[in-house]
Amino acid sequence: MIRSPAVAGSFYPAVAAQLEREVDSFTTVAEPLRKQRAIACMVPHAGYIYSGHVAGAVFARIDLPKRILLIGPRHYPRGARMAILSDGSWQTPLGEAELDGEFASTLKRRFPPLKEDEVAHEREHSLEVQLPFLQRLCDGEKAALRFTPIVLGPLPYEELAALGGAIASAIGAVREATLIVASSDMNHYESDVITRSKDRKAIEELLALDARRLYDTVRREEISMCGYGPAVVMLTAARLLGATKAELVRYATSGDINGDRSAVVGYAGMIIH
């Protein structure tokens, strides 16, 4: 199965040369960066004009392995609540990115609630928008890039934590460097002041690597962080894999781009070591 891009031409350029230039503009810095080994990261998934600079700042700092696990929220009420794909590839303007059947099979054996489901992934943008960054930064070794996509609907904490535990177990079993990427925007459509205040509370729990408190804080404070479920899964797995530190690489809101501070979306980029 080859998945065609759902948001090329809207969230990011549909023409390869334009897309390469845009990704490069978000990942090229004046001073050369020392790339870091990372267990996991969290990046936003809005249109590149709004959040590409945040995602790019994260990916540019990571020594990317060839095996990537992408976990994002399901924005459309279609398909399984825990949907994975293990066979085929995803097309972007930069070429095809191969799915990692070996890792997906290992994970499904450890966590049967994960269901193969093309419908849940068909229109979802939260993972698709990450691929051009990964393809471009792996340029020259693009053929070696393998990824596993998982999208999640609304789930209780216990199921998210169980999935995180299974992911840590699967990564340990394959014995190959794997980066866990959680895709999430932060608070939505409140004023810049309110959004920054709410997001600060969620970011504090992310920095503390505390999955349970992140889950509880988002729900208690009514923070409309669309990917808090994927973030909980990521934190749970990262802690089990030995993570001891989280770093906030960049934070911004849509108001920083369009000047409208009355109703913004927050974007946070984080690396977990």
Say yes or no to pLDDT of 30 above 80. Answer: no
* Rounded-to-integer distance, Cα 124 and Cα 79, Å: 11
- pLDDT at position 141: 60
Structure confidence at residue 18 as a pLDDT band (50, 70, 90):
very high
Name the percent of the chain lying above pLDDT 90.
95
CA distance 181 to 272: 10
Residue 29 has pLDDT above 80, yes or no: no
Annotated domain spans of the chain: 2-272
**pLDDT for 48 beyond 80:** yes
All residues at 6 or more sequence positions from 86 whose CB lies less than 8 Å from its CB, including other chains: 99, 100, 101, 104, 105, 108, 116, 148
Residue 33 has a pLDDT of 77
What pLDDT is stored for residue 264 in this prediction?
A: 99
What tokens appear for 253 in the block?
Answer: 């809101």
- Predicted confidence (pLDDT) at residue 64 exceeds the cutoff of 60: yes
Instruction: For residue range 154-191, list pLDDT tens digits in order.
Output: 999 999 999 999 999 999 999 899 999 999 999 999 99
pLDDT at position 34 is 83
What local confidence, expressed as pLDDT, does residue 235 receive? 99
Q: Whole-prediction pTM value?
A: 0.97
Phi and psi torsions of 152, nearest 5°: -125, 135
Non-local (6+) Cβ contacts of 158 within 8 A are none
DSSP the chain: -EEPPSSBTTTB-SSHHHHHHHHHHHH--SSPP--B--SEEEE--S-HHHHHHHHHHHHTTB---SEEEEEEE--SS-S-SEEE--SSEEEETTEEEEE-HHHHHHHHHH-TT-EE-HHHHHS--TTGGGHHHHHHHTTTSGGG-EEEEEEE-S--HHHHHHHHHHHHHHHHHHTS-EEEEEE----EEE-HHHHHHHHHHHHHHHHTT-HHHHHHHHHHTT---TTHHHHHHHHHHHHHTT---EEEEEEEETHHHH---SSEEEEEEEEE-
- Asked if pLDDT for residue 241 goes beyond 80, the answer is yes
Residue 140 in this model has a pLDDT that exceeds 60:
no
CA distance 216 to 141: 41
Record: fold of 2-272: Protocatechuate 4,5-dioxygenase; Chain B (3.40.830)
Segment 74-102, tens digit of pLDDT? 999 999 999 999 999 999 999 999 999 99
Residue 173: count of CB within 10 angstroms of its CB = 13
Looking from the CA of 193 toward its CB, the CA atoms found within 13 Å total 1
Across all residues in the chain, what is the average pLDDT?
A: 97
pLDDT at residue 142 tops 60: no
The residue length of the chain stands at: 273
- pLDDT at residue 246 in the model: 99
